[in-house]
Amino acid sequence: MTFSIHGLAVSRGVAIGRAVLVASSRMDVAHYFIRQTDVEAEIKRVRAARNQVVEELQRLQLSISQMSPKDAPPELGALLDVHLMLLQDTELEAGIKRWIVERLYNAEWALTAQLDVIVRNFDEMEDPYLRERKGDLEQIVERILRAMRGVANPVAVSPRSTPKNAAQDLLLDDTVDVPLVLVAHDLSPADMLQFKQSVFAGFITDVGGKTSHTAIVARSMDIPAVVGARTCSQLVRQDDWIIVDGDAGVVIVDPSPIILAEYSFKKRQLELERGRLSRLLNTPAVTLDGEKVQLLANIEMPEDAQVALKAGALGVGLFRSEFLFMGRRGNLPDEEEQFVAYQRAVQDMHGLPVTIRTVDVGADKPLDASTHDAAHLNPALGLRAIRWSLADPAMFLTQLRAILRAAAFGQVHLLIPMLAHASEIKQTFAHIETARKQLDKRGLAYGPIKVGAMIEIPAAALTLPLFLKYFDFLSIGTNDLIQYTLAIDRADESVAHLYDPLHPAILQLVAATIAEGHKQGKEVSVCGEMAGDVSLTRLLLGMGLRSFSMHPAQILAVKQEILRADAKRLAPWAQRVMASDNPALLLSGGGI
């Protein structure tokens, strides 16, 4: 039966495919695709683990049978019988095999996927005794997973670690040509990054806001996505056909043929629109009245620099370096590893500027998915970004040295996140100086850098003279500026309706930062999601913004808006929008 689920539209486009539910069980397992040639080995691996658990339980059964009746709890024997029966159930084995053979899931993933299927069937059972067997099944799956950890040592096939990866194999493999849509309760930004370059045609999560970092990564992957879909991962079943409408924020499950035809048509239209936009690739971004606009890219990993260049970016306006630090289980990248990563991005941009932001972990960007900050009530107000760096000078100096060294290979701008206090500014510059001295002492080459501040805390936007005194440029992080000005958690879907880039307070802070920076002859850009939102391009131009940094996939659509705009006429209109009680209304009128 067709039904729809409404969430938040975070990444444009339409995806149609089979649902892949991940991590919906409470077990933390790796999800990766195996190669076709590894199918047999993977089936053997799970079978060996299952047999090992069967032997363990049989041994236990034997030892119970040898106990005196008063020591042997009768319920334990019955429980072991049930577990052994479930373990030898053919449905479990056949299902696991199917996920491995047909979908090329790794054994652990296949096991938990099949667990989901069986658990659903249990849930629907009338008989309470049988319904309760669900818990037993989960226990035996956990046992098998534990046995697998001991039997073999699977290494996750990371699409980034091998030039020709499993995901590419999967794409080339015509036995698995069904598009897949990933459905999860939640995905950390690091998890999401793992799926970059993977086969998924779309993403859906139950939680998350429009500018949560998971949503940002989905957008950067240019794959249709819906977040904040509430109970989606409970309503959708493994392998359901599913449509993701990333423009409307709607998920359609089990679509009827008519709906499917309609969305296939919409998908083709969007592809045609993209084709048309690609003609603007080499057109300079200049308004009708001759104002030049700089279009830069936001990237997460060094290899994204090439994508940015191909998308027509004239530089990197934001390299979120924290993604190098995430999912490392505490094993943070050393100076050499970071240097190589930054150098690669710098060299790939062939002399165009690369703005490297120092690490910004914390809040909805934990270092590891499992280290969500539960200890503090408001992690977004806690030890995040520059606060984290200043709290760990050795780590900060390591990063600064790596960035300074990469600057010997091209134009590097250093960007500092989450500054609010004069003391933080002073400490930051003192550390930059120390890093230079350390490199001098070691005789290592480094290059000149411009240093910029993110304006993303209202306190910073309200004390611009202080920032302009020290920094060469400013970059407005509207995602956090909105979060902190309006007191709206950007990752919380329950308050997503209040997360409003057009709130007059936001418009005033953004406009004032642009105006004040330009008055002092300093470059100001916007690198938050507002920069890539085509419905806001004219307004930002009218405020005087001439440098936009966004996901590479948005660059051409924003460029099209710029080419059609008359900046001189937009300036007075932008003033009217800002003075209005209802800026959204004026904006939807299309302006001038």
Min dist CB 417 to Mg ion, Å, is: 6
Which residue is catalytic, options 31, 413, 431, 527? 527
Q: How far is the CB of 360 from Mg ion (least distance, A)?
A: 6
| Residue from 13, 302, 477, 583 in contact with Mg ion (CB under 5 A) | 477
Tokens 């500014």: give the residue.
425
Cα 547 versus chain centre, distance: 24
The H or E element that residue 14 is part of is: strand 14-21
Based on CB atoms, which residue is closest to ligand PEP, 335 or 456?
456
477 binds ligand PEP (CB under 6 A): yes
Task: Show the site string, 349-378: x = touches ligand PEP by CB under 6 A, - = not.
Answer: -----------x------------------
Based on the shown chain and the rule CB under 5 A, indicate whether residue 456 belongs to the binding site for Mg ion: yes
Residue 31 among the catalytic residues? no
Helix intervals (H) in 302-421: 304-310, 335-348, 385-391, 393-406
DSSP state letters, 169-222: HHHH-TT--S-EEEEES---HHHHHHTTTSSEEEEEESS--TTSHHHHHHHHTT
Q: Are strands 180-184 and 14-21 parallel, antiparallel or unpaired?
A: parallel
Out of 42, 245, 424, 480, point to the residue binding Mg ion (CB under 5 A): 480
* Least CB distance to ligand PEP at residue 297 (A): 12
Helix (H, G, I), strand (E, B) or coil at 449: strand
CB 287 within 8 A of CB 565: yes
- How many chain residues bind ligand PEP (CB under 6 A)? 11
Is residue 208 within the footprint of ligand PEP (CB under 6 A)?
no
For residue 348, the minimal CB distance to Mg ion (Å) is 24
Candidate list 255, 327, 528, 542; residue touching ligand PEP; CB under 6 A = 528
Binding range to ligand PEP, per CB under 6 A, among 166-174, 390-398, 438-446, 476-484: 476-484
CB of 445 to ligand PEP, least distance (A): 30
d(CA 7, CA 376): 28
Residue ranges with strand state E in 215-359:
225-227, 241-245, 250-253, 294-299, 316-320, 354-357
* 324 neighbors 286 (Cβ within 8 angstroms): no
365, HSE (Cβ side, Cα atoms, 13 Å) = 26
Give catalytic status of residue 232 as yes or no.
no
Does 479 bind ligand PEP (CB under 6 A)? Our answer is yes
Q: Which is nearer to ligand PEP, 202 or 532 (CB)?
A: 532
478 binds, among ligand PEP, Mg ion, none (CB under 5 to 8 A by kind): ligand PEP
Structure tokens belonging to residue 509 = 């802070």
Distance in angstroms (rounded) separating the CA atoms of residues 585 and 569:
19
Q: Is 492 in the site for ligand PEP (CB under 6 A)?
A: no
Residue number, 111 or 510, with CB nearest to ligand PEP = 510
Nearer to ligand PEP, 316 or 567 (CB): 316
Measured CA distances, 53 to 83, 133, 145, 182, 192 (Å): 10, 18, 10, 30, 33
**Separation of alpha carbons 406 and 409, rounded Å:** 6
What separation in angstroms does the CA of 460 have from each of 299, 366, 472, 524? 24, 24, 15, 14
Angle of helix 393-406 relative to helix 422-442, nearest 10 degrees?
60
320 binds ligand PEP (CB under 6 A): yes
Stretch that binds ligand PEP, among 149-157, 347-355, 475-483, 570-578 (CB under 6 A): 475-483
Under 8 Å between Cβ of 418 and 527: no
Task: Determine, following the binding rule CB under 6 A, whether residue 480 of this chain makes contact with ligand PEP.
Answer: yes
In the bound complex, what is the minimum distance in angstroms from residue 190's beta carbon to Mg ion?
17
CB of 555 to ligand PEP, least distance (A): 16
220 binds ligand PEP (CB under 6 A): no
The active-site residue, picked from 31, 83, 213, 413, is 213
Q: Which residues bind Mg ion (CB under 5 A)?
A: 456, 477, 480
Q: Which residues bind ligand PEP (CB under 6 A)?
A: 216, 318, 320, 360, 456, 477-480, 527-528
Residues involved in catalysis: 213, 527
